[in-house]
Structures are given as C-alpha cells and as structure tokens.
Amino acid sequence: MEKLHAVITGVGGFVPDYVLTNDEIGQMCDTNDEWIMTRIGIKERRILNEEGLGTSYMARKAVRQLLERTGTAPLDVDAVLCATTTPDYHFPSTASIVIGKLGMTNAHAFDMQAACSGWLYAMNQAACMVECGRYKKVVVIGGDKMSSILDFTDRQTSPIFGDGAAAVMVEPTTEDLGWQDAYLRTDGQGLPFLVQKAGGSVAPPSYFTLEHRLHYVHQEGRTVFKFAVTNMSDSCALIAERNALNNDNISWVIPHQANIRIIEAVAKRLEVPMDKVLVNIHRYGNTSSGTLPLVLWDFERQLHKGDNIIFTSFGAGFAWGAAYMKWGYDPKK
C-alpha cells in the first residue's frame, strides 16, 4: 500500500471587528505605542467584545469559511480538534459546540490544551490520524479569546494578546506533500512563569481568588522570552538539519507570533532572511493557539504547492516544537 501523507487542503479564519489600539491600552495601564512597537512589535489587536460570545463563536466562523472554501459537506467531516486555552466552558469541549452549531454530526470532537503550542500539537495529532488511513477529513482549529483572561490594568500582559481563530482541513494524499516531520517537547518547568493561577481544580473560583486577581494571565516575561528564543531556535535547527533544509530550499518560516524580537532571533539562527518569515503580529498580537493558522489564513495566496514550510511555537508548560510541512496546493482563484 502507498504511504499516506496528511496534507492541508484549505484554510478558514476569523478575527473580531473590534480593533484595540496601543493608544487605548495606554489609557488603561502605564504603557504607550512606542514601547509596545519596539519591545513586542504589536500595533493593534482584535477583541471579541460582544457579550455572551466565546472562542467557539470565532472557531465556528472560521470552520464555516473552511467548509465553504474546500466545498466540504458538514457530514463528510470525520473529526474536529480544537486547540484552545480559553474554551467556552471547562466542559463540554469547544470542539463539541462547533460540531453542534455546524451540523458535523458524523464526526467526533475534542479540545487540545497545550497553550500557544496547541495548534502545532493538534496538527501533528491530526496528521497521525490521517496517515494511519482511518480518517479522511480532519478539521484542526486553533483559537483563543485571550481578552477573557487578561487584566487590562497590567501592562506586563495586556498589550501582548488578542482574540482570533483559524482552522485547516487535513486530508490524505499519496503525493509527497503535507506533514513531513515534527519535533515537539514539553518540560513541565514553565508553571511559575506563565500561568492562570485560579479557576482550575487547584484554586477553584472564590472571593479570595477574585480579590487577588488570580484569574488572569500571569507571565514573567523576561524568563519566558529567553526560553522561547532558545527552544524555538533549537527545534527549528534540529528540524532543518534532519530534513536537509536551509535557506536554499526553505520557502517560508511560520513562527508563533508572541514577540517580533523572538521571531527575528529564530530567523537569524535558521539563517533565513526576514522576507521568508511570515509575520502578522502587528495586526493581531498573540492569539495563542490561533497564531499559526491565522498566519496561514493571511498568507494563503502567497503559498504554492510544494513550498517547504517550517512551523515553530512556544508556550506555557513549557510546551514547544517545530514541524516541517510541504504545502499542498497553489493559490485558489
């Protein structure tokens, strides 16, 4: 039997209409546009500010577009994986809500939580499901409503994040395209440095947790920055080396969009010029699980069949990695 590869056959995305500027953030905490642009590289981010809407709203908008673009009937989807750290509820899963709203009732669905590396891990999982021959159409969503866990009076975290979601369709092919290799790692050392301290089973919601503002993102940025640069760079170098990839044959690098300085450091280590590195951090900020598929959504028209792409991510846990994929189709008309 011919080897099956798992290839992305389409992308859909959604970002909320509301644009939150650096100047507006500067009215809520002690920061300004210049600091945010030079230290992080974010000009603005989108915020889902309609009451009663959560991550599944953005995810289902993204998946609806994906189904339209790929001409897929909802009943033909076999599985839906949703990478998110800000699910609508602790349970049921956000993926199950998406399935219900879009009528994909021949599929099973589950969420994956690996913070900012969630979509990369979910993609690898979907690739395994497709490569084994048992799944024909797997939807992989990455999305977060980070504004739901941000303290807008905290200048160390509030400028960084934004809301958004995107989704890809993963299908089998016998062509030499799609998911080629992945190096994914989690070390468990990140807990003190990047965590939402309350709301889980260790510290369920209480007056104490509310009063002490423990339901927001807590980040020790400088430490996270160092680990992010080292681990993303090392994993990219490893993936490049074991697949004989270098500036001559790498078409694009798609890094997690957390900080432009991290992105530039990764590009430097790979010895790839910045014009091969796809960046939209200035427009959306860090949408956590959403960053990598949102880059695909934004730059889809620039990608060509056979393009060699390296993805890399880093997030809470710490959880990080890099993957190598050959793009599966030419720009759609």
The contact mask relative to ligand UT7 for 52-91 (x = CB under 6 A, - = no) is ----------------------------------------
Answer yes or no whether residue 225 interacts with ligand UT7 by CB under 6 A: yes
Does residue 308 carry a catalytic annotation? no
Answer yes or no whether residue 286 interacts with ligand UT7 by CB under 6 A: yes
| Binding span for ligand UT7 by CB under 6 A among 31-39, 100-108, 136-144, 321-329 | 31-39
Does residue 116 carry a catalytic annotation? yes
Does residue 286 carry a catalytic annotation? yes
d(CA 82, CA 96): 9
Answer yes or no whether residue 147 interacts with ligand UT7 by CB under 6 A: no
Question: Between 9 and 85, whose beta carbon lies closer to ligand UT7?
Answer: 85
Half-sphere exposure of 292 (CA within 13 A, CB side): 33
Answer yes or no whether residue 40 interacts with ligand UT7 by CB under 6 A: yes
Residue with tokens 């409503």: 145
β-strand partners of 171 = 7
Question: Between 70 and 289, whose beta carbon lies closer to ligand UT7?
Answer: 289
* Backbone Cα Rg of the chain: 19
**Shortest separation between residue 32's beta carbon and ligand UT7, angstroms:** 7
**Shortest separation between residue 292's beta carbon and ligand UT7, angstroms:** 12
Q: How far is CA 220 from CA 156, 193, 265, in A?
A: 8, 5, 19
Residues binding ligand UT7 (CB under 6 A): 31, 35, 39-40, 116, 155-156, 159, 221-222, 224-225, 228, 258-259, 262, 286, 314-315
Catalytic residues: 116, 256, 286
